[in-house]
Amino acid sequence: MIQFLTKTQAGCRRGFLCHLLHRITTLTILTAVVLFSQLIYTQSVKAKSSKKPNIVLIMADDMGYEALSSNGSLDYQTPYLDNMAKQGFRFTHCYSQPICTPTRVKLMTGLSNVRNYYQFGKLARDQKTFGHLFQAAGYKTCIAGKWQLGSEADAPQHFGFQQALLWQHTRKGNSVDGFDSRYPNPRLEENGKKLEFNMGEYSSDLFSDYVNNFMEENKDTPFFVYYPMALTHCPFSPTPDSDDWDPKSRGSKSYKGKAQYFKDMVAYVDKTIAKIDNKLEALGIRDNTLLIFIGDNGTDTPIVTNTTYGKVVGAKGQMIDGGNHVPCIVSWPGVIKQGKVTSDIIDFSDMLPTICEAAGIALPSDIPFDGVSFLPQLQGKKGNPRDSIFMWYSRNGGEQSARQFARNQEYKLYATGQFYHVPSDLLEKSPLKDADLDKETLAIKSMLQNKLDEFAKVKHLSFTTAKGPKPKVKKNANKKNAEKKAA
């Protein structure tokens, strides 16, 4: 009996140990599985967070600040852009140059026009653009839309874009018989190869399809897309969504077209933004893509827009607010604080340093960039917001014809001394006199003068070997000068 009990107890003891060992083994395996899963998840998150972001920069043509309903327009509806602003970041004080080429040069190089702008329709071949910087950093690069920066066949690739579908590249904007070729059945070029469309195609559809295909082909690789749109530049003409759209049209024969179509063109811009944004979502890369929408200068004449703050007359080409106050909406889900509206002032030289910082690309130390990155503000930080911006503008690059100003959100000071309170004098009819200014306003004027003085030290075309147009010399001017010196 005692022997039996001893055997029984020994058996129980062995069973208990076996059971305990089984439970310990099971727990160990489960713990290992959990830890392994956590490790895989952590590595996945790290890989996802460390992946370089894609950058998509879209710029509408001749579409001023007031054209967006989120910016107060009562005449046009831009529901997708408005929603993008609600989900992202909207600037109320973004400023371009007064016309297209000067803006594009400033945007692509991060430099004030005084340093490197020398001729309308040209970008000096010695300039380094954001295309170069992104390509050197391992990004796939693409440009689609309006070029107008040099007619050399290799121009887009020379400036850093591996893929390009462009209007106004090696050919002029009109067909041989005078039709504008930018909208219906357009004349485009892909990587320098001439393309003719005559089956009812619309250029904006071709450009956005090209962008979407490029993004799909490179969805697993960081990419940079720059889309300078043809819309909403004149001629103001029907879009495929207009009631009187004609797929057989060869384009407008009048330069301006009909202003009544501007509304349809704005709506098509909004539709195109939605198309590209939805493609990013479908590709599963939206959260890792920084998308910026801007306009290249103010709205053209004769467009007059009713807004919540009064009528805004198109002022493209002018130095007044309506000529260079443009929309800027930034979207980057998961990174940018939603629904943020800022009064921080920015200009187009700020775009290059901002997108480069977002991509982790260091700026070359041998280039005197004028821009300031606003990425910290997008991330909800204070950052280093500007107190003012500077503009140097000469349509054809001549130093003698250039006009200059410095401004903040409210006040503008020209190099010639005129000082304006912009919100109450949008057309700049009533320059302010020092005698009527309080101490605070005088301090602002002094700050703006310091900005002008800072750029007065910059020699015209100091950062390019390109030569600007020769100054026009009036007849007998040399003789008169000699006479003056003799006197």
Asked whether the predicted pLDDT for residue 40 surpasses 70, the reply is no
Q: What Å distances lie between residue 204 and 107, 208, 297, 382, CA to CA?
A: 21, 6, 19, 37
Q: CB-based burial of residue 378 (10 Å sphere; 0-12 exposed, 13-18 middle, 19+ buried)?
A: buried
Could you give the residue range(s) of every CATH 3.40.720.10 domain in the chain? 52-381
* Tokens representing residue 77 in the block: 């509806």
Q: Residue 286: what pLDDT?
A: 97
Q: Residue 29: what pLDDT?
A: 52
3 state DSSP class of 396:
coil
Q: How confident is the model at residue 178 (pLDDT cuts 50, 70, 90)?
A: confident
Cβ atoms 269, 41 nearer than 8 A? no
Residue type, 362: A
- Tell me the mean pLDDT in the region 387-415: 97
Q: Residue 473: what pLDDT?
A: 56
**Residue entry with tokens 């200014």:** 437
With both helix axes pointing from N to C terminus, report the angle between 351-358 and 100-109 in degrees, rounded to the nearest 10: 40
Instruction: Give 78's DSSP letter.
Output: -
CATH superfamily to which 52-381 belongs: Alkaline Phosphatase, subunit A (3.40.720.10)
Distance separating alpha carbons of residues 362 and 133, to the nearest angstrom: 9
Q: Residue 457: what pLDDT?
A: 97
In Å, the largest CA–CA distance within the chain is 144
Tell me which residue of 102, 96, 101 sits closest to 328, measured CA to CA: 96
- Tell me the mean pLDDT in the region 457-475: 85
Q: How confident is the model at residue 481 (pLDDT cuts 50, 70, 90)?
A: very low
Q: Are strands 163-167 and 340-347 parallel, antiparallel or unpaired?
A: unpaired
Cβ atoms 295, 229 nearer than 8 A? no
Distance separating alpha carbons of residues 86 and 143, to the nearest angstrom: 27
Distance separating alpha carbons of residues 452 and 29, to the nearest angstrom: 71
Q: Residue 49: what pLDDT?
A: 46
Q: How confident is the model at residue 464 (pLDDT cuts 50, 70, 90)?
A: very high
* pTM of the predicted model as reported, rounded to 2 decimal places: 0.87
